[in-house]
Amino acid sequence: MIKIPVIKAVCVSLVLAGIALAPNAQAVPLRAPAAPTSVSCLPTPHPVTTEQTLALFELAARKIGAVRTTGAKRYPFGALHSSPDYAYTGATGWTSGFFAAELWLLYQRTQDPHWLEAARAQTRGLMKLATYTGSHDLGFMVGLPTGLGATLDPGPEQQAAYAEARITAARTLSQRWNPRIRALKSSEYGGKWGLIIDSAMNAPLLIEAGQAIGGPEGDELVYRGTEHMLTLARDFVRPDGSTFHRMAFNPKTGALIGPIPGQGLTGDSTWARGQAWALNGFTRAYELTGNAELLDAALRTAAFWVSKVPPGCIPAWDFNIDNSRAPRDSSAASIAADGLLSLRRVVGDTAADYGAYADVTLGLLTTPWMTTARSVNPGILLQQTLNVPSDPREGSYVWGDYYLLRALSAA
């Protein structure tokens, strides 16, 4: 539930946090309207300002700089709302690559050698996961930090090592391929061969690596990555542009069995973060391939998002919830904003004006009551959820923080 502090306290916090609102914006807190709704919104939506972006990156530098890591052994994961300390995972946790990616974005913005060394250290421990066959999330774990490192690290030797790790990770991920389903296996769910919409963010790694190496092997990687995305577009995206989270298939015939309950309200509902993964992943896949079916999937999933979440709002954790007290998921909004900015980049200005929508979303996500500016929490963006069916408590998590930083870097 969103707590509503008094206006005076919010105005003071804005000054203390150094975050400026747009000139005509009201210094009032995020509020849930009286009637049940699945979004919470600013009364006066406004695009993110230069001052807000500056203050958010200063906050990120302060928070991230205070985090103690131990290289290849501990990777920040997240912290509940009022917790002063991160929970950590080992390198094989699906979120292990996000903190390193945050470090790369801070280096990109500041060119400070301190952030470069920190990013190198965190990424170094993840590169050995390139041959790890126990996860379908190698795009997150290896692809994100090494992709940024290959672009941003000034050292040619480091660049080459990152590029090789990405190609190796793509080869490893490719081993999960099922030619009948035309997809990369996510996991077993309820004893069934399963696929999840989150994989829209990982399969493009095959396309990127295949295009980099070329030849018959490269063509096969591109084929598998593209076909995986087309399978998601065909079987996960409904006619109205909403998405399923999990689906089961028959691995011997390739036949679709149907939805499996996951992190959404039900197996047939639309999990908010899954919708954001979809529009972001389809946009990237189209950018890489130029495939019209993938563009259609990106546009339809984006259209559903903006039809359900007005500018300057964050959604409940599932779109099928109509409850003003339901947990929200700001990480879904940050992932969607990043995806919509990418969509603007690849299709240009359209009547939908997705870029302007994303800018207003960022105007909300950088306000101090959405961030840890006044909190002991070690992360950046509050009101994120992990897996509400298991634990409805909100907090700050590295994936939402990373996509907020990335979206601000592109805005």
pLDDT higher than 70, residue 19: no
Q: What is the mean pLDDT of the chain?
A: 90
Distance CA(129)–CA(86), nearest Å, equals 22
3 state DSSP class of 63: helix
Count of structural domains within the chain? 1
How many alpha carbons lie under 13 Å from residue 162 in its C-beta half-sphere?
Answer: 27
**Tokens 């003071």 belong to which residue?**
12
Q: Is residue 164 part of a domain?
A: no
Mapping DSSP onto H, E and C, the string for 192-216 reads: EEEEEHHHHHCCHHHHHHHHHHCHH
pLDDT higher than 80, residue 26: no
User: Among residues 108, 192, 197, which one has the least CA distance to residue 149?
Assistant: 108
At a CB cut-off of 8 Å and minimum separation 6, what does 134 contact?
A: 92
Distance CA(179)–CA(301), nearest Å, equals 26
**CA angle in degrees (0–180, nearest 5) for 116-118-124:** 100
Strand order, beta sheet including 75-80: 87-89, 75-80, 391-397, 384-387
Dump pLDDT digits (tens) for 250-267. 999 999 999 999 999 999
Higher confidence at residue 372 or residue 35? 372
Q: Residue 2 is encoded by which pair of tokens?
A: 């969103």
Q: Give the range of the structural domain holding residue 3, as residue numbers without chain letter.
A: 1-66+309-411
3 state DSSP class of 278: helix
Give the pairing of strands 75-80 and 87-89: antiparallel
User: Among residues 210, 245, 386, which one has the least CA distance to residue 319?
Assistant: 245
pLDDT higher than 80, residue 29: no
How many alpha carbons lie under 13 Å from residue 148 in its C-beta half-sphere?
Answer: 29
207 CA to centre of own chain: 19
Distance CA(290)–CA(279), nearest Å, equals 15
Q: Is residue 225 part of a domain?
A: no
Dihedral sign for Cα 72, 78, 83, 88, please. Answer: negative
Q: Residue 257 is encoded by which pair of tokens?
A: 């069995």
Q: Is residue 89 part of a domain?
A: no
81 CA to centre of own chain: 19
How many alpha carbons lie under 13 Å from residue 215 in its C-beta half-sphere?
Answer: 2
Q: Residue 265 is encoded by which pair of tokens?
A: 């309200």
Q: Quick one: pLDDT band at residue 42, thresholds 50, 70, 90?
A: confident
Q: Is residue 409 part of a domain?
A: yes
Distance CA(186)–CA(277), nearest Å, equals 15
E strand intervals along 153-268: 177-178, 183-184, 187-189, 192-196, 246-249, 256-260
Q: Is residue 349 part of a domain?
A: yes
Dump pLDDT digits (tens) for 82-134. 999 999 999 999 999 999 999 999 999 999 999 999 999 999 999 999 999 99
Q: Quick one: pLDDT band at residue 69, thresholds 50, 70, 90?
A: confident
Q: Is residue 60 part of a domain?
A: yes
Secondary element (H or E) of residue 357: helix 354-365
Alpha-carbon dihedral angle through residues 186, 124, 208, 280, given to the nearest 10 degrees? 60
Average pLDDT in the 28-33 region? Answer: 39
Predicted TM-score (pTM) of this structure: 0.91
Q: Is residue 47 part of a domain?
A: yes
Q: Quick one: pLDDT band at residue 43, thresholds 50, 70, 90?
A: confident
Q: Is residue 341 part of a domain?
A: yes
At 36 the pLDDT is: 35
